[in-house]
Every structure is written in structure tokens, then in C-alpha cells.
Structure 1
Amino acid sequence: MLAGNQRHAAEFQSRFDDVQNAQHPDAVTVCCADSRVLQDELWANTDPGSIFTCANIGNRVIQQTPDGDVVSGDVLYPIEHTGTETAVVVGHTGCGAVTAAYRDLTGDTGAEPPGIAHSLTPIRTRLAAGVDLLPADLSESAAINRLVEYNVDQQVQFLLESDRVDDDVSVVGAVYDFQDVYPGSRGEAHVINVDGETDPSALREQAPEIASRITRLWSY
């Protein structure tokens, strides 16, 4: 890892000149912390200061507090303090957190350690209604990948409904595919939600320049 960091340092030596003392990222992204999801590589980002990246299991924007659920501080920070006006929630195919929540909801799993259980609670709570909507004849993997979309939609909706996120902040949902679930190449991010709009036809009409990247597995 340090050898890789040495190569990184040599390549990036001059790229911090304009951002050493302040940051104004164009977007904040929250992705699953899965080791197969390389956030900056996902966007081919090599510009320090361009994207404020957050990662956790299940790409959650929700933080539980004694007073109720709030927008997670790591997601909210750039919106509150650096002028960031785009938030992107990125799920991924075969998500382990969604899988664990699904199995828990369907009675097919054992107890998780407390820290993991705490992180899964806001996902499981919001996936329950989605599980009830699933067609009965789906395989587990097909069900999980549809719930990955449902989870992204729920996280997007939470941001849109929060009074801490201004109305002029655009909220986008996407799914990163490395399992050949969506049409296209492995490693592509597929847009599934923009500001709460989830209908692919409507989204393609709104943004024809990215029509080929707007794909959903499931409309519920």
C-alpha cells in the first residue's frame, strides 16, 4: 500500500496547489464501502477538491440520533460548509448490506454484531416495504438487486425531505454494476433517480444526453 501511495504522491505533487487551504467540491457522493467500489476511479476523478467522497455499508445518508434520524454528518458537511449543490447516492449490484437486511426481513439470517446491526437498522427499516412489493418468483440475487435500487431511492428521498438540505441541491441516485446485471460494461454507473423522479422515460426526456445511462431493473 505504501508503494502505491509513493506512486500516487509522485503523480499528484502539483495537483494540490489550488486546494491546499480550502475545498469547494462540485458534488458529494455516498457509496457503499464495499472494497469493489472504487469511488474516485468510478468517476475517473484525479482532481483533488472535485468530489467529496463518503463511504459506509449500504450507502446510507441517514444517521441515527437520540432525537431521531438525521442526515449523516459526513454527507451534510459539504452541503452546509463548502457550497456543494449536488449529492449522489451510489448503490451497487450484489450489495452485502442490502443482502443482510433482506435476509433479516425474510427470517433467513443470524444476529449481526451490535455495530453492524446498528448500521443496518436504517436500511432494514426502509427496505421492509420494498420487500413486500417484490414479485414472488424472483431469485434471491434478483430480489437483492431490485432492493439495491429501492434502497437508493429511499436514501435520495430522505435527503429531499430533510429541512437541512436546500431545495437547490440536486440529489441523484445511481447503481454501480460489476456483476453484469445491467446492460453495458462492467463498472458503469446507471442513473436511476434524479430529485425523486424514477421513471426512466421521464428521466431520458429530461436528460437526453445521458439517455443510454438511465436504466432501472424495477418500477414499483
Structure 2
Amino acid sequence: MHSHGAHVEGEAMSQETPSDDSLVGLLKGVEDFSRNVFPETQQLFSELAEGQSPHTLFITCADSRVVPEMITQTQPGELFVCRNIGNIVPGYGEMLGGVSAVVEFAVAVLRVRHVVICGHSDCGAMKGLLNPESTKDLPTVEAWLRNAQAARSAVFARKIEGPEAIGAVIEENVRLQLVHLRTHPAVAAALANEAIQLHGWVYDIGEGTVSVLDAESDRFLPLADAIRRESRG
């Protein structure tokens, strides 16, 4: 999942776009894209205007610090992205809605070859999961986080507390959502046909790297180790 040529997101970030939190700032950002970034990648967008064929469904958190295309250095058209609080995939039939529809469409229609569930450090949703009092006035968030409750239970069962608990629940939640993902009929069928691979990642915002869940050991490996294993495989 490497970019071919200059990466659009990176180019956009390098421009003199004002870091303005007003609507004008957003509009000027679009203007900058249209004038300076788009012309350099017009051929790519001309092809994408006719359709898409992404290789990966990337399910991650809605957190503003997580930018899938930047992290993976991919071009537009490579990732089919689904974002929500806590990078959650409800089990099939539990809560049919946006995430279930995205999974079904990506796997059954777009026929993506990979699905990545990517958690991240300092995740507010996972902090809320560990401290239910913090979400008592957020009924929708509270209900949504029930889809991750088993991750909290697993961490508490291992008697992990204090600062280590947040890292543990972030990892456990990725494992749990991969379990949920397998309950979706389109995914189950693709797995049976060996047409898809599922992956669990945790992105470290402060370090700018990813740890990767190893299926054999059920442990998260450093990026370099994961690359070596994939290269050998």
C-alpha cells in the first residue's frame, strides 16, 4: 500500500493553506487544492471520475488526528474509508446501519482484498469505555460503546489498571472488532473463498508508526517486524 508518485495529501499539506478554523479557511483550502494540487494529479482524477477500485477497506476512528491516506501514503482511489468513534464494527444483526452497509458494499461490490481495523493512541472513545461516568450525559455515545464492552471486560479480567489500561483496551478493541467483522455474511463468504485478508493495527499518534496484530501470536508487533514477516510470506 505505497503511493505511486507524489502523494496528494502530502502536497496539499505543503501548500500555504491558512490554518483557519473558520468556514473561509476551509473554502480557501479547497481553492488552494483546485489551483495548486489538482492540476498536478489531473490524470489520476480523470481516471477516478469514471469509477473506483480500492484495494483496502480501512476502518478507523473519527479522531481528527488520524488521517488514513497520510499514514499509509496512499493515493485517492486506493482506500475505501469508514470512520466512527472507536473504530467499531457492530456484530452483524446487532446494529444494522452505516458501518454494516460500508462493509457489505466494500466486500461484495468493490471486492476489496484487505480490511484494516485501525485503532490509535489516546483514543477518547476508549477512555470513555474505561470510565463510563464520562459518557453518562452522552446517551448515543454510551449506546455505541456497548459494541466495545467486551474489550473493557477483557482488560479488567487481566487486572490491567492505571496508565497501561488505555493501551490494553485500545488493542483489545481492535481484536474484538475483527471478531465482529467476521460475523458479516459478505466477509465470511470472502474469507471462505480466500478472497480477503483481515488486519488489525494500532496507530501511535506521537510516534508516527503502526503496530500490527500478528494472527499466530495474537500480539501486536512493531511495524518493522510486521514488514519482515509479510515480505517473507
- 1:61 maps to which residue? 89
1:133 aligns with 2:162: no
Deviation digits for residues 141-194 of structure 1 (CA, Å, limit 9, x no counterpart): 320111100000001122234332121210000000024xxxxxx111111244
TM superposition score normalised by structure 1: 0.76
After TM superposition, list the pairs within 5 Å mapping 1:90-129 onto structure 2. 90-104=118-132, 108-109=133-134, 111-124=136-149, 126-129=150-153
Is the CA contact (8 Å cut-off) linking 2:91 and 2:183 kept in structure 1?
A: no
Matching residue's letter, 2:130: Y
Matching residue's letter, 2:65: R
* Distance change in 2, residues 1:198/1:83 (3 Å): same
Is the CA contact (8 Å cut-off) linking 1:102 and 1:131 kept in structure 2?
A: no
In the TM superposition, residue 22 of structure 1 has moved relative to its aligned partner by: 1.3
Is the CA contact (8 Å cut-off) linking 1:78 and 1:84 kept in structure 2?
A: yes
TM superposition score normalised by structure 2: 0.73
Matching residue's letter, 2:153: A
1:189 aligns with 2:189: no
- 1:215 maps to which residue? none
- 2:117 maps to which residue? 89
Whole-angstrom CA distance in 2 between matches of 1:193 and 1:206 = 8
Deviation digits for residues 104-130 of structure 1 (CA, Å, limit 9, x no counterpart): 2xxx54513222222212112x22431
Deviation digits for residues 70-102 of structure 1 (CA, Å, limit 9, x no counterpart): 562223321121111210000001111111011
Matching residue's letter, 1:192: L
Whole-angstrom CA distance in 2 between matches of 1:206 and 1:41 = 19
Whole-angstrom CA distance in 1 between matches of 2:52 and 2:155 = 40
Identity of aligned residues (%): 25
After TM superposition, list the pairs within 5 Å mapping 1:144-183 onto structure 2. 144-165=166-187, 166-167=190-191, 168=194, 169-179=196-206
- 1:198 maps to which residue? 218
Structure 2: runs of 5 or more not aligned:
1-25
* Distance change in 2, residues 1:129/1:110 (3 Å): closer
In the TM superposition, residue 200 of structure 1 has moved relative to its aligned partner by: 5.5
* Distance change in 2, residues 1:109/1:31 (3 Å): same
Aligned match of 2:50 in 1, 21, 26? Answer: 21
Is the CA contact (8 Å cut-off) linking 2:135 and 2:141 kept in structure 1?
A: no
Moved over 3 A (4+): 203-207
Whole-angstrom CA distance in 1 between matches of 2:200 and 2:77 = 22
Secondary structure of residue in 1 paired with 2:136: coil
Number of corresponding residues? 194
- Richer in helix (by share): 2
Secondary structure of residue in 2 paired with 1:37: coil
Aligned match of 2:64 in 26, 35, 43? Answer: 35
In terms of Rg, which structure is larger?
2
How large is the Cα RMSD of the aligned pairs?
A: 2.7
Is the CA contact (8 Å cut-off) linking 1:102 and 1:144 kept in structure 2?
A: yes
Structure 1: runs of 5 or more not aligned:
180-185, 212-220
Is the CA contact (8 Å cut-off) linking 1:95 and 1:148 kept in structure 2?
A: yes
Secondary structure of residue in 2 paired with 1:83: coil
